[in-house]
Amino acid sequence: MTEQDARAREQRLARWRSCAVLHVDMDMFYVGVELLTAPHLRGRPVVVAAAGHRSVVLSASYEARAYGVRSGMPLARARALCPAAVLLEPHRQAYEQVSRRVMATFAELTDLVEQISVDEAFLDVSGAVRRLGPPVGIARGLRARIREELGLTASVGIGATKTVAKIASTRAKPDGLLLVQPEDTVAFLAELPVSALWGVGARTAEVLNGAGLRTVGDLAAVPVPRLVRLVGPAAGHHLHELASGRDPRPVVPVREEKSLGAEETFAQDVADTRVLHETLLRLSHRTASRLRRQGLRARRVGLKLRWADFSTITRSRTLAQPFTSAHDLHEHGTALLTELGRRPQAVRLIGIRAERLEPAGDALQLSLDGREEEWRAAEEAMDRVHARFGPGRLGPARLLRPAGTRGAPGAGPAVPAPGASPGRPGPNSQGVDSRVRDANSPPDGLSW
């Protein structure tokens, strides 16, 4: 290689590194995972949501979205918009399992991976371009690998900054790729609505629109003092920088999770303390299992209650010793519930959280009476049973289903091994996929 060739190569690498932030967003992730074991439903309107008239939509296929169905929408509203949709109940363990495989695939490309949710992450591939080529080629290879190995699709945005990459991935959906070169950044942003910028919610957008600022280009052109008067000093300066194509935030490879938790919305408002305690027990075991699986322990317990009128309260307490057991989580959660005294209304939603998380490590400080160690050992044994035989085989007596009942709480669809073809779900005794709830013929008396 001549000196001129070497110089040209270094210039090419420098250009690639100047636009090497990828935002990868899995398409309709929850629906996609469910369809791995129900491929015959591809092409049909599908909604993932728990059964019940108070449930909300977790995810919807693009066929359902064509009818106006959206994530977070009340299930009753989704039913009215798309009565022919197929309802699949969510399986969160399966989503976590697939998410780990997706993130592991990202980590093979670069160690600069910032996971921001179960189905999306930023990747900085500037350090990989010498080995793997231009970022757009890396993105194409990544999308092909996700499709071939996991049976899912992903949309990828590529830009010089995290803001641009994230907006680009949204514009590329579904199953697409969009590259925004540095010199095109300002023009790309200018025509977008102000709500496209990360951090501009409905209220901020309303304030900006009311002042005549409707596009990102408007924000870039307006003097900073005016923005400060509208939305405050911090937000005003921040939005002006983003609108001008400047976003200095790096891709941070370690995103510390500050809390883990679970919550449940009741089909009918609940005033029975026994039901609330049993629900807290179930949610505590779900949360503690995630703690141990992620190698974490917690120092604070949080309780969340939503009353029948939708007002919400939270309470928390810090423990003297860190914990990983559902027993401790439930014990202190119910104590917080008791401390509330007489409840003014029935409860619509209840939730439990493990907070102030830290790595569990190999050495745990022993509690004075040894109870935490005993409960932790018992629940770790239960984890091993669940890993081998499936969830629902072992647990607190109050939560175990009677022998002969179908299904186990939290059980999810089997995820195919890498490279394997997803299999069709097995039929029940009537020849019907027992996981599917079709709006036109709901089995077992379940109304869509």
- Answer yes or no: is 362 a known binding residue: no
- At residue 134, φ and ψ (nearest 5 deg) are -65, 155
How far is 147 from 90, CA to CA, in rounded Å? Answer: 22
- Encoded tokens for 167: 């907006």
> Distance between CA atoms of 132 and 244, rounded to whole angstroms?
31
Q: Give the CA distances from residue 73 to residues 48, 50, 56, 341, in Å, rounded to whole numbers and listed in that order.
A: 11, 12, 5, 33
Structure tokens at 226: 């005016």
Q: 37 near 136, Cβ under 8 Å?
A: no
25 known ligand binder: yes
Which strands make up the sheet holding 120-124, listed edge to edge? 113-117, 120-124, 21-26, 154-159, 177-179
Task: With H, G, I as helix, E, B as strand and everything else as coil, classify residue 446.
Answer: coil
In terms of C-beta density within 10 A (0-12 exposed, 13-18 middle, 19 or more buried), how is residue 144 classed? exposed
Mapped onto helix, strand or coil, the DSSP state of residue 223 is: coil
Q: Residue 264: helix, strand or coil by DSSP?
A: strand
Taking the mean position of all CA atoms in its chain, how far away is CA 15? 33
With DSSP H G I counted as helix, E B as strand and the rest as coil, what are the percentages for the chain, rounded to 5?
40, 20, 40
Joined together, the tokens standing for residue 13 give 């690498």
**Structure tokens that stand for 288 in this block:** 């503690």
Overall residue count recorded for the chain in this entry: 448
Segment holding 306, helix H or strand E: strand 296-307
* Residue 378 CB neighbours (<10 A): 14
CA 197, distance to chain mean position in Å, is: 20
In the set 34, 120, 331, 372, the catalytic residue is 120
The question of whether 120 is a catalytic residue gets the answer yes
Distances (CA, A) of 11 to 6, 130, 270: 9, 12, 66
* Residues placed in the known binding site: 25, 119
Catalytic residue numbers read 120
* Residues placed in the known binding site for Mg(2+): 25, 119
